[in-house]
């Protein structure tokens, strides 16, 4: 089996993990662990794992001028990103949340245009408009009759904030990713992220009744910490080392598909015409945005 095939398998596994994570994390929140408390568990776990992995990586000194950039990247890539995602997911449904996450490439384009003056062509502008129309539809009218969705509109908006925050993180961290070893960078991102999440999560974490928690919920929490927070990152890194970025980026389209199939199988969500219509608009917008990037790279 060649390295390209292994890379495709690794990225595929990461995509499946991301897809099922929506439902697995949703089963924990907010009944057993409230969202901010869950994020604190996730960040503490991931920080510990990556700092241990850092012991096996060649030491690399962080330049003083880069600490501010890492702090900012951590705020948007770990703090605001994760807090808004888990809070939003606790209020909405897995399918809506997974669809909203696909708007990340659109937000990357918008922030790239604002921060680094990257030109936007007509096709990209059309893609942004179509994608944002779908996003607004899903936020405003994508409410669900599912009992686990206590406030779908607000939840969908928070997941969109998460996607926008992650898009901004990608733009901010671009130079850092090229400059430092991935493990070295991510262990600092999570450490600073821990500082941001502790004030929000410590009270909710203190409220958790661990003795009353079913064994399956412990497994769900472990899945989110080990697989979603750490393993997917390492698998995607391996994929990026062997595949073109455009090839890896295509897998983002599969996340809502996997999330939808899994959610429907376990009965944690349902489909509606609004969800389907908004999804098609968002997918069309992202396709127009990313297609031009791929064409121009040829």
Give pLDDT tens digits for 137-169. Answer: 777 766 655 545 567 788 888 988 988 888 888
Report pLDDT for 165.
87
Whether the per-residue pLDDT at 82 is higher than 80: the answer is: yes
Report pLDDT for 295.
45
Query: How many Cα atoms sit within 13 Å of 49 on the Cβ side?
Result: 18
Name which residue leads in pLDDT, 222 or 142.
222
Average pLDDT, integer, range 24-49: 92
Tell me what percent of the residues of the chain surpass a pLDDT of 90. Answer: 31
Average pLDDT, integer, range 67-95: 90
Report pLDDT for 294.
45
One-letter-per-residue 3-state SS of 93-138 = CHHHHHHHHCCHHHHHHHHHHHHCCCCCCHHHHHHHHHHHHHHHHH
Closest CA to 233 of 36, 47, 22, 40: 47
| Entry pTM | 0.78
Whether the per-residue pLDDT at 131 is higher than 50: the answer is: yes
Average pLDDT, integer, range 196-202: 94
Report pLDDT for 152.
75
Give the confidence band of 109 by pLDDT, cuts at 50, 70, 90: confident
State the CB neighbour count (10 A cutoff) for residue 58.
8
Query: How many Cα atoms sit within 13 Å of 194 on the Cβ side?
Result: 15
Buried b (16+ CB within 10 A) or exposed e, 66-96: beebbbbbbbbbbbbbbbbbbbbbbbbbbbb
Tell me what percent of the residues of the chain surpass a pLDDT of 70. Answer: 88
> Could you give the CA distance from residue 162 to residue 84 in angstroms, rounded to a whole number?
5
pLDDT in tens, 241-283: 777 655 666 677 777 778 888 888 877 677 778 778 887 887 7
Whether the per-residue pLDDT at 297 is higher than 50: the answer is: no
């Amino acid at each position: 089996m060649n390295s390209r095939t292994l890379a495709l398998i690794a990225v595929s596994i990461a995509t499946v993990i991301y897809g099922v994570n929506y439902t697995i994390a949703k089963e924990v929140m907010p009944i057993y662990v409230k969202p901010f408390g869950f994020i604190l568990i996730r960040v503490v776990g991931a920080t510990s794992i990556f700092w241990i992995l850092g012991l096996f990586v060649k030491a690399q000194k962080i330049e003083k001028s880069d600490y501010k950039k890492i702090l900012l990247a951590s705020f948007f890539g770990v703090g605001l990103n994760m807090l808004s995602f888990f809070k939003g997911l606790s209020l909405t449904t897995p399918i809506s949340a997974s669809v909203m996450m696909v708007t990340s490439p659109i937000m990357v384009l918008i922030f790239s245009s604002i921060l680094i003056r990257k030109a936007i062509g007509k096709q990209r502008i059309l893609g942004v408009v179509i994608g944002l129309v779908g996003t607004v539809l899903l936020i405003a009218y994508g409410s669900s009759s599912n009992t686990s969705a206590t406030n779908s509109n607000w939840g969908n908006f928070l997941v969109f904030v998460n996607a926008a925050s992650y898009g901004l993180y990608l733009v901010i961290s671009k130079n850092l990713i090229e400059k430092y070893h991935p493990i070295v960078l991510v262990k600092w991102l999570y450490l600073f992220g821990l500082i941001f999440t502790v004030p929000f999560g410590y009270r909710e974490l203190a409220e958790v009744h661990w003795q009353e928690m079913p064994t399956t919920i412990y497994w769900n929490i472990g899945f989110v910490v080990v697989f979603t927070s750490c393993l997917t990152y390492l698998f995607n890194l391996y994929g990026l080392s062997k595949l073109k970025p455009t090839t890896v980026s295509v897998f983002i389209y599969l996340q809502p598909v996997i999330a939808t199939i899994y959610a429907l199988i376990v009965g944690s969500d349902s489909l509606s015409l609004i969800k389907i219509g908004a999804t098609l608009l968002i997918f069309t917008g992202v396709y127009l945005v990313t297609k031009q990037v791929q064409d121009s790279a040829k």
